Amino acid sequence: MNNYADRLIESVKRKANPCVVGLDPRIDQMPNFIKKRLTDESSEDDICQAVVRFHRVILDAVAPIVPAVKPQIAFYEQYGLGGIQAFMDTIRMAKKRGLIVIVDAKRNDIASTAQAYANAFLGRTRLISTEHPIFDVDCITVSAFLGRDSLEPFVKTCVEYGKGIFVLVKTSNPGSVDLQDLRESESHRPIYTHLARMVAELAQEAIGKSGYSSIGAVVGATFPHQAKELRSLMPRSIFLVPGYGSQGGTAEDAAHCFNPDGLGAVVNASRSITYAFQNSDITEDEYARLVRTKTETMAKELTAAIHRRDGRT
């Protein structure tokens, strides 16, 4: 079982692209070539088929150029059983196309419950005497609000099955300052630096041949100064960087999340790639071409920004 970080780094290098495409099914915003097949009375199966078809178009367009995709499970859950079926089908399609699948789930719970989440997404679930893979993705995002013991079942499962996690350290939304930026009284340093230290420690348990660990961190592109500091606190962790595009993060901002080797981060864009054309009657082929172009543009901007940053330092 290969180390997750090694697989991700290898794919980023091979495709010369650190971009991740986020998959957020929002049927009411999908292009008409998808939406026109649905009505308000559509069955769970119809909903599932529509979401799967939308994602098949996107996956076919981006699979040759990006290392990974990031389904956001909230947008699947909001369609109930049909949505969960589409989630599983999307995962299968992505894996079949050689893509690494990072599920954005932000799960967190006490250790015994965290183990159930780890089983569901990364490991296996015991039925009677044997264990079965369930969603079986490469990586999920997790929150550390409940503390270190809430992360340990995930770390153990990552090591056992060659999987990964990205722990929320500094999120991309404006409200991330409310809790994450509070300063701890003894050190006078923000909470996110405490989380970073916890992640750096856990990261030691899953370092691959690439030198990177399968225990990564979520660090928003919208807070570049904090990203710089966090980069030095967690040298072995790959960063998953949200907040690029629709949320206002730029390529320059995201560049701070990369190490001097030009690696160590993957940058996600969801809405700015997949919902940039929502009010048009474009055909499936046109949509696929536009998604691919948007993704290529993002990769170029990001690569240029990393080079500019390295030129400066």
Among 144, 206, 219, 234, binds a second copy (CB under 8 A): 144
Among 14, 92, 126, 300, binds a second copy (CB under 8 A): 126
Site for a second copy, residues 67 to 86, rule: CB under 8 A: 72, 74-75, 77-81, 84-85
Q: Among 8, 24, 15, which residue's Cα sits nearest to residue 247?
A: 24
Query: In which residue are the tokens 């390295």 written?
Result: 310
DSSP character for 182?
A: P
Site for a second copy, residues 178 to 197, rule: CB under 8 A: 178-180, 182-186, 188, 191, 194-195
Structure tokens that stand for 177 in this block:
């300052």
Catalytic residue among 70, 106, 163, 170: 106
Q: Is 106 an annotated catalytic residue?
A: yes
In whole angstroms, the minimum distance from the beta carbon of 77 to a second copy comes to 4
Site for a second copy, residues 36 to 65, rule: CB under 8 A: 38-40, 42, 47
State the DSSP H helix or E strand holding residue 125, giving kind and residue range, or none if neither: strand 124-126
Q: Among 121, 113, 183, which residue's Cα sits nearest to residue 151?
A: 113
- Residue 217 CA to residue 200 CA, distance in Å, equals 9
Query: In which residue are the tokens 């153990």 written?
Result: 156
Give the list of residues 6+ apart from residue 136 with CB closer than 8 angstroms, or none.
Answer: 91, 121, 122
Nearer to a second copy, 16 or 179 (CB): 179
* Residue 36 phi, psi dihedral angles, 5° rounding: -65, -15
Give the list of residues 6+ apart from residue 231 with CB closer than 8 angstroms, or none.
Answer: 219, 239, 256, 257, 258, 259, 264
Site for a second copy, residues 3 to 32, rule: CB under 8 A: 24, 26-28
In whole angstroms, the minimum distance from the beta carbon of 178 to a second copy comes to 3
In whole angstroms, the minimum distance from the beta carbon of 99 to a second copy comes to 21
Nearer to a second copy, 181 or 310 (CB): 181
Site for a second copy, residues 247 to 306, rule: CB under 8 A: 247
In whole angstroms, the minimum distance from the beta carbon of 107 to a second copy comes to 7
Among 17, 172, 213, 237, binds a second copy (CB under 8 A): 172
Catalytic residues: 106
